[in-house]
Structure 1
Amino acid sequence: MQRPLRILHTEAAMGLGGQEIYIFRHMVAMRARGHDVSLLCQPGARLGALAQANGFIVHRLRMGGWVRLLRGIDRVAALVRSHRFDVVNTTSRRDALIAAAGARLARAPLVVRSRHLMSPVNSLLTYTGLPHRVLTVSRFVKQQLVARGIQEGHIGVVPPIAMPPQWHGVRGPDPWQCLQDTRARVRAELGLEAGDVVVGCVAVLRRPKGHMDLLRAIAPLCHAHPWLHLAVIGEGEPVMTELRTASQRLGLQRQVNLLGHRSDAQRLMAGLDVFALATHKEAAGTVFLEAAFVGVPIVATRVGGVPEMVREGDNALLVEPGDPTALTTALQRLVEQPELRRQMGRAGWDWMRSDDRFSPVGHCRATEACYYQWLEELGHV
């Protein structure tokens, strides 16, 4: 690492989804590397509360509307000048308009726009007009941006961080045995029998995540195997109501468990037999890394950056989106073959412990490489 950097991250979102968790983990990891990291967000934002509770300096600014935009640009410019940030890293369109413009007005050495989504880019202003460079989470999204007209050399790729699981009270020298002990505890908490097989999904309940596709695909398997269960971890309407209604209509109330939001989602994942997510679009997908980290085999759709977050055929089975028969077949393979589940789960476990790209240190090194290279290119050594 070269000299420590003063970094300001900005985010306009009020909730705490995958993008915000990515930012928080990134901030924690970069601080551990010796960088001075701060956050600019809206008042009441859950990310701001989380960051402040973990000792970060949090600046708050209301965003949205032309009046706030113009006032916000001046406030950000003053903030950047007073704190002399080396890097201002924006995330969403609203904060990018305000913070990137303010940072450029204050002559910040490096202004970066992060891209965590795979939806089409409408305006290039917050990708080429205001920031100097762009960071994204997968090669897939990078190619999308290049196709949209952003210069390839101005885009860096930094995958998300996969955090090691916290076993909460389970101790021992053998991590694999700790996993097995946690698995037994979780399954007991969920009231599962020894022969039960659980397919689980962890994702915010939004229609593009494909929860209904997953329910329809697993329904015939549940009817054929009374010991098969589907556990859905996540919150969000109207999808929660749609899932509850559909499970009742299919006669699967006993086998479909809608657990809502759980702060211990990764611990619960250790109790699954299979992780499944039939997402329609995904820029990357940290949850696939977390499933691998707890030794759970994966069934997912081959979309966006998902193939970069798994090892297809090794720890994951991928199917084309919109193919319910293929999704049912992939689930059936793992549901009915315990030895295949064990082999693929162990393959993911071993991969997460041997590939440095998704570790906090590997993530920081990739980020630093982009920041330092771009600062040098822009004349700030």
Structure 2
Amino acid sequence: MPNKILFCATVDYHFKAFHLPMMEWFKQQGWEVHVAAKGELDLPFVDKKFNLPIERSPIHLQNIKAYQELKQIIKQQKYSIIHCHTPMGGVLARLAAQSARKTGTKVIYTAHGFHFCKGASLLNWSVYYPIEKMLSSLTDCLITINEEDYELAVSRGFKAKEIAHVHGVGVNAIRFKPVQKIEKWRLRQEYEYRTDDILLFYAAEFNKNKNHELLLHALALIKDQVPSTKLLLAGKGPLLESTQLLASRLGLDHMVHFLGFRNDIDRLLPMSDIAVASSLREGLPVNIMEAMSCGLPIVATQNRGHSELIVEGENGFVLAPSDTDLFAIRMKQLIESAELRQQMGMSSMQRMKMYNSLQVEQELGGIYKSYMLEEQNEAESQYRRAYI
């Protein structure tokens, strides 16, 4: 019988977006891969998939049913490793796996950005912090994807047996890469942009945290000085319509292009000149890593994720979310200087070497192998006790 690993998250799309390479890695090691999450996606490298009624809201009654189903699945399947992701996936899996841990199952949890952090609200600290600290005692390995979360977990005495730091979820440097100028022009022609346009790009859901209003107000301050600039906003969300109305009210209809949900980010980024990001809270943002991998300079708000990726004045600028004026100044500085864009873009690519998929796979593989070896040693010990 092959060893089994269970990946658990709130929704199955999370695995399609971020974790297929590690699922493939487990298959290459001869392991059986199971997934438990809400959704009916057909995922590659998965031997068995459980569609659970998990809801994002921690007070939703469906989560009780999801917990009960997950507990039964874990009892029946006898996993060697359970790796959980997302807040609710992490809560339910660790609670459901308590009995399994007593018989040797190892539980790994990746925190993709604690909701409590420097600058977070008192409400976030009072709700999320005690939950995560309590659940850390039910965790064999707590993985953080940024240094701030790692230091917080260590300094606050989280009780996980091991606390590790990996460099995000990895970005495919083959898919996300710069292109030659002739290819950049060809892409622009395909998407109906001029070769002399300056394209700013931001891919994010339209919600309060992503803070699109900052970008629009900053662009409005300089719109008459940078007439050939276009701000491309990819994504959808509850605040899309109000953001469109704001762009119109600020006289930016001709400069701001709402692209909707896109699956061609790997083509839109290389034809762009600058990446911008205005979010209030980030763990380690994939949108910024993809932009850096494509050789773009960044103008972004200050939060733990942005500050880990962007070195002020080297591969971009990191600004207070409240400083609209300075955000506008930094955008204009990059818009007007091709030399500065090239210099900072090169620095972005250099920094991305530690965040690419191969690097992250090696880091995660090292963590997994330590538990695989432990499992193997335990099996050998049981064999010796039984037969020798």
Give the TM-score category using the shorter length.
0.7 to 0.9
Cα separation, 1, equivalents of 2:45 and 2:109: 24
Corresponding residue number in structure 1 for 2:147: 139
Deviation at residue 221 of structure 1 after TM alignment: 1.8
Give runs of aligned pairs for residues 343-358 of structure 1, distance below 5 A. Answer: 343-352=343-352, 355=353, 357-358=354-355
Cα separation, 1, equivalents of 2:371 and 2:175: 36
Deviation at residue 316 of structure 1 after TM alignment: 1.8
User: What is the SS of the residue equivalent to 2:284?
Assistant: coil
Cα 1:145–1:340 change in 2 (3 A) is: same
Q: Say whether residues 1:361 and 2:358 are aligned partners.
A: yes
Q: 1:162 aligns with which of 142, 163, 171?
A: 171
Corresponding residue number in structure 1 for 2:112: 116
Assess if the C-alpha contact under 8 Å between 1:317 and 1:330 holds in 2. yes
Count of aligned pairs: 354
Q: Say whether residues 1:236 and 2:244 are aligned partners.
A: no
Deviation at residue 165 of structure 1 after TM alignment: 4.5
Which structure would you say has the larger RCO, counting Cα contacts within 8 Å and 6 or more residues apart?
1
Q: Say whether residues 1:94 and 2:92 are aligned partners.
A: no
Give runs of aligned pairs for residues 31-110 of structure 1, distance below 5 A. Answer: 31=27, 36-42=32-38, 45=39, 49=41, 52-57=42-47, 58-63=49-54, 64-79=62-77, 81=78, 85-106=79-100, 107-110=103-106
Corresponding residue number in structure 2 for 1:170: none
Deviation at residue 245 of structure 1 after TM alignment: 0.3
User: TM-score normalised to the size of structure 1?
Assistant: 0.83
User: What is the SS of the residue equivalent to 1:329?
Assistant: helix
Tell me which amino acid in the other structure corresponds to 2:170.
Answer: I
Assess if the C-alpha contact under 8 Å between 1:127 and 1:134 holds in 2. no
Deviation at residue 214 of structure 1 after TM alignment: 1.1
Cα 1:29–1:55 change in 2 (3 A) is: closer
User: What is the SS of the residue equivalent to 1:124?
Assistant: helix
Deviation at residue 20 of structure 1 after TM alignment: 6.3
Assess if the C-alpha contact under 8 Å between 1:165 and 1:267 holds in 2. no
Cα separation, 1, equivalents of 2:74 and 2:241: 42
Percentage of identical aligned residues: 21
Cα separation, 1, equivalents of 2:233 and 2:206: 9
Cα 1:126–1:61 change in 2 (3 A) is: farther
Assess if the C-alpha contact under 8 Å between 1:146 and 1:152 holds in 2. no
Cα separation, 1, equivalents of 2:80 and 2:160: 23
Corresponding residue number in structure 2 for 1:11: 9
Cα separation, 1, equivalents of 2:69 and 2:347: 52
Q: Say whether residues 1:208 and 2:209 are aligned partners.
A: yes
Tell me which amino acid in the other structure corresponds to 2:110.
Answer: S
User: TM-score normalised to the size of structure 2?
Assistant: 0.81
Deviation at residue 213 of structure 1 after TM alignment: 0.7
After superposition, what is the alpha-carbon deviation per residue over 1:101-147, rounded to whole angstroms, capped at 9, x for unaligned? 44332334311122112312331366324222211211111223335
Tell me which amino acid in the other structure corresponds to 1:127.
Answer: L
Deviation at residue 290 of structure 1 after TM alignment: 0.8
User: What is the SS of the residue equivalent to 2:283?
Assistant: coil
Tell me which amino acid in the other structure corresponds to 1:293.
Answer: S
Cα 1:93–1:262 change in 2 (3 A) is: closer
Q: 1:27 aligns with which of 23, 32, 57?
A: 23
